[in-house]
Chain A
Amino acid sequence: MKLAYWMYAGPAHIGTLRVASSFKNVHAIMHAPLGDDYFNVMRSMLERERDFTPVTTSVVDRHVLSRGSQEKVSNLITRKDKEEQPDLIVLTPTCTSSLLQEDLANFVKRASEETSADVLLADVNHYRINELQAADRTLEQIVRFIMEKEMKKGYSPEKSLRPSVNIIGPFTLGFHNHHDCRELKRLFTDLNIEVNQMIPEGASVYDLKDLRKAWVNIVPYREVGVMTAQYLHEQFAMPYVDVIPMGVSETEKFIRQLTKAFTEVYGSDRLMAETEAFQQEKELEFEAYIAQQKQYLSQSSWFARSIDCQNLTGKKVVVFGDATHAAGMTKLLSREMGIDVVCAGTYCKHDADWFRDQVKGFTQQVLITDDHTQVGEVIAELAPSAIFGTQMERHVGKRLGIPCGVISAPVHIQNYPLAFKPFLGYEGSNQIADLVYNSFSLGMEDHLLEIFGGHDTKEIIQVEGAQASGIRWNEEASGELAKIPGFVRGRVKTNTEKFATSRQISEITLEVLFAAKESLGA
């Protein structure tokens, strides 16, 4: 048993549901007790989703506990098949159902005989893997399932004529994923590369069979998509690029890797000379693009060199988040902004080696933990001038008076912005530069205010107000008044005094306070 107040990554079934509900026309059925469908709330509230979340629960209640689910799960599967007519139904076990050890695979088998949809049992172990690992696994499972089905039918599509890619990984409730996708697609359009498919967000499972048309797979996030890319590599020899295009340098590296990958595919059935010509042409084209972006279009490299940013030199920061964003930020801050990353950390304990390797040479200390109190302690000890972390680090920052920029999930609703705010690609670099600069300049403002004693005049106004009224509050009533939250207290006070004056009451008691509240509706 572990005493826990907060966690960075959720339980496994959340990852499965995030992947399943990212696809178009896929319905997930959770085998779970009442109240476990909290995922629907998160999707509907955080993503402000207009559609009903395609997740239904086959409720595990006392009855199921004693007699087993029996027909219940299969019936719900066939019912949802008729009602929603999905392409695929994913039966999702939860921590509760995995304890019951019911033969869910058998339910799936039985139900799928009657459904027109495909039915799949998500293969996730709740006590061993977390949300992100489960998402990676589920995506691979769905892709593999469709591919194997199509292979049996002998389906084998041709590669596209022009260089093309699949983007694997962006999904629902992902940190700025929608914006990243748009930015990546723009990047590929600029580079004259077709985007064959993007999965799972907005994709159709029917189309998955045509993933093979693309030349190369792109995995922009470390957490979700790597397993799928590896599967496609092993099965169909599709190369993949897993450099995360975050920051100007990494975006460059990403584009250069693309050249290599394309050449590999191009060269597989062509003569050496022709392949070399292709590679040269691509290299020229891509290098020209990189140079143009760097010199003229992307603002962040110039911004980092501009005089105002001299102040950032040697500033100490702590970075913490998922592996993708924490590694990306660490490299960007250290290499592109000249900032001193005193500690870089991630809660993706399962991917610690990759993370260490990525941030090697860019930070003084590496922290691998999923215990937020430990992160808080490290921050307090190092006392950086800014933090780049999750919502939890933002709160640590608030407590310690250190500014924080949010760079990674878990996040709140404000981190699902309406405006275009990618973290990847060239526009992503601009966005990050703003974020970094604003975090520091706010910190500077605070610092100056402290030095010059602030300019808060609230106290004075309040004293004047009190003198003007001349009505006495008895102890009980003023005690009650003090409990009213600060931001409405003033209004309640004035209203009650007005009420008392109108009734010629000179002393405000608890009775008067409540009577006034009722009459004025304050």
Chain B
Amino acid sequence: MKSTAVRSMRTYAVLPTQAEPLPLAFNMECETGNYHTFCPISCVSWLYQKIEDSFFLVIGTKTCGYFLQNALGVMIFAEPRYAMAELEESDISAQLNDYKELKRLCLQIKEDRQPSVLVWIGTCTTEIIKMDLEGMAPKIEQELGIPIVVARANGLDYAFTQGEDTVLAAMALRCPTEVPPSPTDETNQVTTRPKLVLFGSLPNSVVKELTMELAKYDIEVSGWLPGPRYGDLPTLGENVYVCSVNPFLSRTATTLIRRQKCQFINAPFPIGPDGTRAWIEKICEAISPLSPTLQTQLVNREAQSWEALKPLTDQVQGKSVFLMGDNLLEVSLGRFLTRCGMQVYEVGIPYLDRRFQESELRLFQQTCEQMNMPLPPIVEKPDNYYQIQRIRELAPDLVITGMAHANPLEARGIATKWSVEFTFAQIHGFSNSRTILELITKALTRHSKLALIG
């Protein structure tokens, strides 16, 4: 008991808290949670592509399978490295032995695909029938000789992108641990710079861009969670700083802090030139403070980036946007779009971890002050029905929403952008800020171009 208390104190110590001057002034509400989002098991679609030697087994029902095959469209035909372990009535009523059944399926996958890691995705059903996945995994892992990672990415607890969070939190526990330098080895202690591990799954080319960007400010990235292969999992430990690239990874952060004792850097997320600069600054602050030259270089870098975006920001300037909320990127997007001159009417979000997003929220607040915009309300667990009433009243120029509402809103004369595209497009870092604005302007210009045909 005592050790946990000590650990959690450490946790709080690294997060910015009392030291900050201004309290957050956002009006934060919580509605009924009746909103549309993707099931978190959808994370297998991008994670199996990211971790090239993995195999994802979703243990659930026809409902899960139907969602996956429809949501992921044609990907299913490219021999995906994921499958359903479809539970049948005999599994539910415990006439069959879970352990034997899972072992049989995993053996078959091992023979057919030879993956380096099996990821079991627990679903609502496995939760309800209390299938002990965590208990069975180590046994089957030993018998099969393949690591089995268990993630409970179910719709009872999580929304959409949080699925990745559950998988990465489970993988964080599989990372090799740093051997602490022995006290006798004095030379090591002086020269070792703290290591930096970034977490969040990004396409490999974006990983390269962000790594190169940090290198310009003398920051070396020692590893990514996840890497392109399971064997590339980064080494963690007390001497390792960790920083997230995405706003939905709070469980992973907690795991890294509490279980792997890493030093957490609470930073805004590298979305938009403003976010990217703030992200770099926070990292540098923690690891190796920027020299005045490098600081100037970074400020110029951001300025250049904005300059390059000018043709696009000119188009969105003065327009209003309403984020209905379904993927947890909303605060970062709202902040960036405010900085681009848009007025954000509402930031809907499935779940807001105020501590994990602290720096991001602060940057958002500063941005609103700087742009002379009112702080938008942040609506956690929104109710889509009420939101649609508000959209009718506010008549925003653009609504960022899921696919269930896009066509009906368009039919009512409201321009929309599918929120899912922000999850799958490359939006991180200085250069990719363009992608976000291109998605937004595409929706706006198309809407005005076609206005004539009514």
Contact = CB atoms under 8 A, between A and B. Distances in A.
B405 interface: yes
B65 A99 contact: no
B63 interface: yes
A45 B403 contact: yes
B434 interface: yes
Contacts of A519: 308
Interface stretch (B152-160, B170-178, B235-243): B152-160
Interface stretch (A59-67, A313-321, A439-447, A465-473): A59-67
Contacts of A395: 77
Contact of B87 (A1, A33, A61, A130): A1
Interface stretch (B122-130, B194-202, B263-271, B360-368): B122-130
Given A6-B76, A10-B66, A36-B39, A1 B411 contact: no
Interface string B285-327: 0000000000000000000010010000000000000000000
A4 B84 contact: yes
B105 A1 contact: yes
Given A38-B66, A52-B408, A99-B129, 8 more contacts: A34-B158, A38-B67, A40-B36, A53-B408, A59-B34, A96-B125, A96-B156, A128-B89
Nearest to A392: B77
B85 A38 contact: no
12 contacts: A1-B88, A2-B86, A3-B84, A5-B76, A32-B155, A33-B155, A36-B67, A40-B36, A50-B407, A62-B156, A99-B92, A130-B62
Contacts of B86: 1-4
A295 B97 CA distance: 64
Interface stretch (A180-188, A197-205, A401-409, A510-518): A510-518
A3 B105 contact: yes
Interface in A68-100: 76, 83, 94-96, 99-100
B439 interface: no
A249 to B, nearest CB: 35
Contacts of A59: 33-34
Nearest to B154: A33
Nearest to B36: A37
Nearest to A128: B89
Contacts of B85: 1-4
B89 A127 contact: yes
Interface of B: 33-34, 36-42, 59, 61-63, 65-67, 69-71, 73, 76-77, 80, 83-89, 91-92, 96, 101-102, 104-105, 108-109, 124-125, 127-129, 154-160, 204-205, 208-209, 212, 305, 308, 385, 388, 402-408, 411, 430-431, 434, 438
Contacts of A4: 65, 83-86
Contact of A5 (B80, B125, B154): B80
Query: What does DSSP make chain A's interface, helix, strand, loop or mixed?
Result: mixed
Given A483-B205, A519-B308, A511 B212 contact: yes
A41 B404 contact: yes
Nearest to A64: B156
A99 B69 contact: no
B219 to A, nearest CB: 17
B195 to A, nearest CB: 23
Nearest to B57: A3
Nearest to B350: A34
B404 A40 contact: yes
Contact of B408 (A36, A50, A60): A50
Contacts of B407: 44-45, 48-50
Nearest to A84: B385
Most A Cβ at <10 Å: residue of B34, B155, B205: B155
A293 interface: no
Contact of A35 (B39, B102, B438): B39
Contacts of B209: 514
A11 interface: yes
Contacts of B108: 3
A51 interface: yes
A193 B254 CA distance: 70
Contact of B160 (A7, A35, A37, A83): A35
A434 interface: no
Contacts of B124: 33, 60, 96
B133 to A, nearest CB: 13
A52 B73 CA distance: 22
A13 interface: yes
A99 B109 CA distance: 28
Contacts of A42: 70
Please give me the 6 A-B residue pairs with the lowest Cβ-Cβ distance, nearest first: A35-B39, A33-B155, A518-B431, A50-B411, A40-B404, A127-B89
A479 to B, nearest CB: 11
Interface residues of A, number: 58
A99 B84 contact: no
A35 B121 CA distance: 15
Contacts of B102: 1
B411 A7 contact: no
Most B Cβ at <10 Å: residue of A33, A62, A126, A128: A33
A2 B305 CA distance: 51
Interface string A425-437: 0000000000000
A504 to B, nearest CB: 20
A24 to B, nearest CB: 16
A62 B157 contact: yes
Contacts of A344: none
A35 B34 CA distance: 10
A96 B125 CA distance: 6
Contact of B157 (A6, A36, A61, A76): A61
A104 to B, nearest CB: 15
B36 to A, nearest CB: 6
Interface string A406-421: 0000001000000000
Contacts of B388: 52
Interface string A118-162: 000000001110100000000000000000000000000000000
Nearest to B66: A10
A83 B83 contact: no
A37 B70 CA distance: 12
B157 A510 contact: no
Contact of B212 (A61, A126, A510): A510
Contacts of A57: 34
Most A Cβ at <10 Å: residue of B109, B156, B438: B156
Contacts of B404: 37, 40-41, 44, 53
Contacts of B430: 518
B408 A35 contact: no
A85 to B, nearest CB: 14
A44 B91 contact: no
Given A34-B37, A35-B37, A96-B128, A83 B385 contact: yes
A65 B127 contact: yes
A82 B61 CA distance: 34
A218 interface: no
Contact of B156 (A2, A5, A33, A517): A33
A1 B71 contact: no
Contacts of B83: 3-5
Contacts of B438: 521
A114 interface: no
A123 B209 CA distance: 54
A328 B217 CA distance: 68
Contacts of A60: 124, 156
A4 B124 CA distance: 18
